Amino acid sequence: MKKVINQPADFVDETMEGIVAAYGDRVHFLDGDRRVLVSGYPSQKGKVGIVTAGGSGHLPLFLGYVGAGMVDACAVGNVFASPAYTKMASAIRAVDSGAGVLCLYGNYGGDKMNFQQAIEDCEFDDIRCRSVLACDDVASSPRETAEKRRGVAGILYAYKCAGAAAGQMRSLDEVAAVAEKAVANTRTMGVALTPCIVPEAGRPTFAIADDEIEIGMGIHGEQGVETTKIKSAKEIAEILVGRILDDYDYSGSEVAVLVNGLGGTPLMELYILNMEVQMLLEEKGIKAYRTFVGNYCTAIDMTGASVTLMKLDDELKELLDAPCDTPALKI
């Protein structure tokens, strides 16, 4: 293991301190708690609050999207581990301004259980909450059981659209409906060229030969649903886009495209993959309305990428284009 760290046990807390040291004008710890990050931008009274949470190791997800026009607070746990429900409850209370709070997070067992407990505690204090779960990873479960799918990079679009809707002072139910629409129209498929190394474990999360890749890996270092020989960028794009289009009908539509790095892939390679993705979409009559290329949801230092498509209508386009200012995304 070669990493720019101090002690593995301090990995998460020191990451948090580094974020606040860099972006202290935009985000800060909640009452000094290094596991809860809140927006430093003033929130208008009566605005719906948006909270997310999850395990560390996915930067800039989730922490990087705390700020104006997106998420108001985020709680994090250890690497790939859910934060305690008390941290989630603290985040919910911190961002409630009288209109309720949307809890927007990935479809993982620990996060679901802990958010449920946090919401029960907060509703006892008369804070109204709604939950929307991202479940965009088409590799993790077939269409027949889509409710079991993992939330991965596509949650970025739910943050962006729900955050913009909240900024328009829409009601909690309306903001939740926007998040649900974004989730329903979003699909993601990924590929890993290498595993990742969790600092406290100090070893790769799975073994893979030098000439192999994992199709449909998980962002917690899980192996994919298929191991195959290494392929060209064109072939990888065909696999990822093909699986997405097999799962959801994007024909004739406008889409938001996300070509996401998993932490260890150079930006040049992501742009090559994006070129191939864009050509495939054009061939199929699908128009790319807005494209994002870069590291938006990682698995620490995993080499590989994911492709996300979100089908757009006029409302989602407006919300996607709305201004935001966070450490990881500014429009």
Q: Which residues are catalytic?
A: 58, 220
Query: In whole angstroms, how large is the CA radius of gyration of the chain?
Result: 19
For residues 196 and 2, is the Cβ–Cβ distance under 8 A?
no
> 50, 68, 43, 35: which is closest to 129 by C-alpha?
50
Reduced to 3 states (helix: H, G, I; strand: E, B; else coil), residue 34 is strand
- Please name the amino acid found at residue 213: I
DSSP string, 101-130: EEEEEE--HHHHHHHHHHHHHHHHTT--EE
- DSSP secondary structure code for residue 24 in this structure: T
Q: Which residues of 24-46 are buried (b: 16+ CB within 10 A; e: fewer)?
A: eebbbbbeebbbbbbbeeebeee
H or E, element range at 311: strand 304-311
The position carrying tokens 């948006």 is 50
Distance between CA atoms of residues 255 and 42, nearest Å: 32
Distance between CA atoms of residues 287 and 305, nearest Å: 21
Q: Strands 73-79, 129-134: parallel, antiparallel or unpaired by DSSP? A: unpaired
> Which residues 6+ apart lie within 8 Å of 9 measured at CB?
200
| 243: alpha, beta or left? (left if phi > 0; alpha if psi -120 to 50) | alpha
Please classify residue 228 by burial: count the beta carbons closer than 10 Å to its beta carbon, then call 0-12 exposed, 13-18 middle and 19+ buried: middle
